[in-house]
Amino acid sequence: MTETLFLTSDDVAGLAGMDEFVDAVRDGYRQRGTGAPAKPRTTLVNDEPTGMLTGYSAILPETGAMGGYMYSAGFGAGDAWFMTPLFDAESGEPLALIDGASMNPFKTGAAGAVGLDALAREDATSLAIIGSGAQARGQLQAAVTVRDIETVSVFSPTKESRESFAAEMNEALSASVAAVASSAAAVEDADIVITATTASEPVFDGDILEDGTHVTAMGQYHPKKSELDETTIERAKYVPDLRERATQDAGSFLAALESGAVDEDHIHAELGEVVAGEKPGRESEDEITVFDSGGTGIETVAAAYMLYEKATAEGLGSTISLSPASESLTGE
């Protein structure tokens, strides 16, 4: 039997700062850029009751860990559960099983920040965020760790939600955060634009993007749903988290591809290639850049292992016993 650490969401909540998540995830993408294995998500959709079962995985050899996410969403309970199995990349033995719900906005926000850091102008100070939920909160908290953001404009369709978000973030951040009445008002003159929505259609007009803007899109991973319009994709240097995902479930890129606005050569590089220095990131002040983040096992494994190490050092969690196949795969 193998003793494996079990960490609840309460165990990992507040265990690490956002800067620690960003550092861990950046190193994970660096490893991906030099060949670490990772695959896009696989989603199984159920019709009745409506729901989906999703999983994705990665191996980070230098970190010494591998694993990923598996989660259910919808079905009869109308909720979601996130589980992260983490394995030792040398021995293959299970290290931990983590309830992944509380870490989700942090590891996802960290991936957005790594993309932002690799592609946005160094002097970017103004940020627009479309969306006001947990993922938007994580994206904004991570963004301010990699750029000196002075002003933030937030839009979401519900006035109360965007105003509550702005008030909360004003208290939490040194930047000035204000709710605005439209996505156009948020995006105009912004150095950085982040979309963190569940929208099925583009949430702003790509024609209004100023030269030099960086866009992070992280709310959609469905082939028929798009947060960004074809104009934005066409105007931008386009960098997805995984190249394979861009033609699988990156709805904004697929829409531009199907319309003929771009071809597959429009994919400049994977984020990991840019982080590892294998491909250039921003090459001019006037470039528009897009990081399309649909979620991968890279940030999941990187963040989970960082939390596992911190929890182990602090004596958090409980242990469960898992039996190896050599003992239990007997057929008896």
Tell me the pLDDT tens digit for each residue of 136-159: 999 999 999 999 999 999 999 999
pLDDT at 241: 97
* Least confident interval from 109-118, 219-228, 246-255: 219-228
Has residue 83 got a pLDDT over 90? yes
Strand partners, 255: none
Mean local confidence (pLDDT), 77-83: 95
Question: Which DSSP category does 267 fall into?
Answer: B
pLDDT at 1: 82
Residue 295's pLDDT band (cuts 50, 70, 90): very high
Per residue in 85-99, pLDDT tens? 999 999 999 999 999
Mean local confidence (pLDDT), 242-271: 96
* Least confident interval from 48-62, 216-230, 250-264: 216-230
pLDDT at 119: 98
Has residue 236 got a pLDDT over 90? yes
Query: 5 by DSSP, 3-state: which?
Result: strand
pLDDT at 332: 80
Question: Which DSSP category does 208 fall into?
Answer: G
CA–CA separation, 297 and 303 (whole Å): 10
Share of the chain above pLDDT 70, in %: 100
Mean local confidence (pLDDT), 9-32: 97
Has residue 221 got a pLDDT over 90? no
CA–CA separation, 252 and 234 (whole Å): 10
Mean local confidence (pLDDT), 57-61: 98
CA–CA separation, 247 and 245 (whole Å): 5
Has residue 134 got a pLDDT over 90? yes
Mean local confidence (pLDDT), 53-82: 96
Per DSSP, the residues of 75-106 read TTTTEEEEEEEEEETTT--EEEEEE-TTTHHH
Residue 144: C-alpha distances to residues 14, 139, 268, 290, 332 (Å): 18, 9, 25, 18, 57
Please state, rounded to an integer, the average pLDDT across all residues of the chain.
Answer: 96
Residue 330's pLDDT band (cuts 50, 70, 90): confident
pLDDT at 219: 81
